[in-house]
Amino acid sequence: MQVICNTEDFQITEKTAVTLGKFDGIHKGHQRLLNALLEKKKQGLKTVVFTFFVPPIPGREDVRQLTPNDEKKKFLEAYGIDYLIEYPFTEKVRHTAPKDFIREILFKKLCAAFVAAGPDFCFGYERKGNVALLEKMSSLCGYEFEVFDKVSYKGEPISSSRIRACISEGQMEDACEMLDRPFSLSGTVIHGKAIGHTIGFATMNLVWPEDKLLVPIGVYLSKVKIEPLFEEFVDFETFAKSDFRVVKIESCEAVEKSKKLLKFTLNDGTERKRTILSGIHTYYTPEELVGKTCVAITNLPTRMMMGIPSEGMLISAVYEYDGHEGLNLLMLDDAIPAGAKLY
């Protein structure tokens, strides 16, 4: 995903599918808009999430976010979005007339061919622009426009402010249901005073982003299950026979008549392309994996799957959360070249 942050100096030349908003939390309502973009991606459009660049304000409890900027970027990249535009919110931009915003930014800079928005989306000077204006201007600027209704939960529309209120009140089950995933905290682990060892409880000291919304003080259950380690040892010579290689995903497609299998065409650093089939379609769409850098065992015997030869195995992390299996394909830094060997 290409991130264009805090600059007006850019121009997208490819036709795009665009959605606009703050996207704090990227909850079920936001995901409805993102899914609309991914459908257009199948038709050849690049996907764009447009939001405004808002730097963190240390110490301001009222502006803490469900998903700070770095967390939001990781989520959108994993979702399969091509561009994240964090546009500078300058005085000039703040005073931009709604029609000028559509013509100069949406049409000219973003090259929008499709625009998706929620029913209450407002933009431009004094928030005078709305979905009615976006609809009216669509024929003049040559883009398709679609309004998506809000997603409801317990009879009320889902919103970022509603989720923030739930978290602040400790109503985590409701918050997680509206987010469509567990609410999480991530940060840097630092050394503490080692008091946990004196009371029989291991502790972790975490430094989180200053603009991250925090849960109330309390005790929370983490429903994560990690597979137990193997009790049997493997001698080094046996392990060393497995050839772990860095591979680049050049193409990926669903296997016909299979709900789980994806067919990967891989660059493994040799002159020939490698084909591997993997049953991870439940967790990933083919489009979001193209271009990723992964790890494969390349010296396994070729195995026929749905009549297609599979030449190895891609490495994934598998775990159980709240009674459901989760999976993450192991992805590496794109700077690592194809064919690099892992030891």
pLDDT at 294: 96
Percent share of the chain, pLDDT over 90:
63
- Tokens 């979005």 belong to 81
Q: Whole-angstrom Cα distance, residue 248 to residue 175?
A: 37
Q: Please, which pLDDT band fits residue 184 given cuts at 50, 70 and 90?
A: confident
Q: What does DSSP say about strands 144-147 and 112-117: parallel, antiparallel, or unpaired?
A: parallel
Percent share of the chain, pLDDT over 70:
90
Q: Quick check: 329 and 314 in contact, CB under 8 A?
A: yes
Average pLDDT over every residue of 286-301: 95
Q: What is the third-level CATH fold of 236-329? A: OB fold (Dihydrolipoamide Acetyltransferase, E2P) (2.40.50)
Examine the pLDDT at 224 and tell me if it is beyond 60: no
pTM over 0.75: no
Least confident window among 49-63, 120-134, 198-212, 296-310: 49-63
Residue 178's DSSP bridge partners are none
Instruction: Name the CATH code of domain 2-153 (choices 2.160.10.10, 1.10.274.10, 3.40.228.10, 3.40.50.620).
Output: 3.40.50.620
pLDDT at 198: 75
φ, ψ of residue 25 in degrees (nearest 5): 95, -25
pLDDT at 211: 84
* Two domains, one topology: 2-153 and 236-329: no
Q: Whole-angstrom Cα distance, residue 325 to residue 227?
A: 11
Whole-number average pLDDT of the chain: 89
List pLDDT tens digits, range 111-155.
999 999 999 999 998 889 999 999 999 999 999 999 999 999 999
Identity (one letter) of the amino acid at 302? T
Q: Quick check: 224 and 269 in contact, CB under 8 A?
A: no
Each domain of the chain, given as residue ranges in start order, spans: 2-153, 236-329
List pLDDT tens digits, range 261-270.
999 999 999 9
**Long-range CB contacts (within 8 A, 24+) of 309-312:** 309/275, 310/275, 310/276, 310/277, 311/274, 311/275, 311/276, 312/274, 312/276
Examine the pLDDT at 306 and tell me if it is beyond 70: yes
